Amino acid sequence: MKKIFPIFVMAVGIGLFTVLGIGSISTAYAQWRNKESPEAALNNIDAVQAIEIANQWKWSKKEIKSRVTPREVIFKFPNKKEKRIPLPEEKMFVAVAPYIKKTHT
């Protein structure tokens, strides 16, 4: 049973990349680093890039909160401004949080 779990997680991860059509993830964060402000980093990017930036900012820009709804990626800045980036209608975002005792710390 223990050997099945890593294979399942890997399959889910590959499925996420396939469902979202992720191809430019590594460039999304690099593009953000070249921008002057976090808000400017979100201009002219797609939802996949927005999700990658949100994942990076979770650790490096903790004051900026983000969430994904069925329709959009939403960023909330400390100044109370929000930036919304729509998800493509023909695709969906699936997040998997495997756990043993609880999902979040």
The parent domain of residue 44 ranges over: 4-86
Q: Is the pTM of this model over 0.85?
A: no
Spatial neighbors of 88 by CB under 8 A, at least 6 apart, are 46, 47
With respect to residue 48, please indicate whether it lies within any of the assigned structural domains.
yes
With respect to residue 31, please indicate whether it lies within any of the assigned structural domains.
yes
The residue written with tokens 């023909």 in the block is 90
What is the distance between the terminal CA atoms of the chain, rounded to a whole angstrom?
Answer: 25
Q: How many domains in the chain?
A: 1
* pLDDT tens digits, one per residue of 29-82: 555 555 568 888 899 999 999 999 999 999 999 999 999 988 999 999 999 999
Q: Are 76 and 64 in contact (CB under 8 A)?
A: yes
With respect to residue 55, please indicate whether it lies within any of the assigned structural domains.
yes
With respect to residue 105, please indicate whether it lies within any of the assigned structural domains.
no
With respect to residue 53, please indicate whether it lies within any of the assigned structural domains.
yes
With respect to residue 92, please indicate whether it lies within any of the assigned structural domains.
no
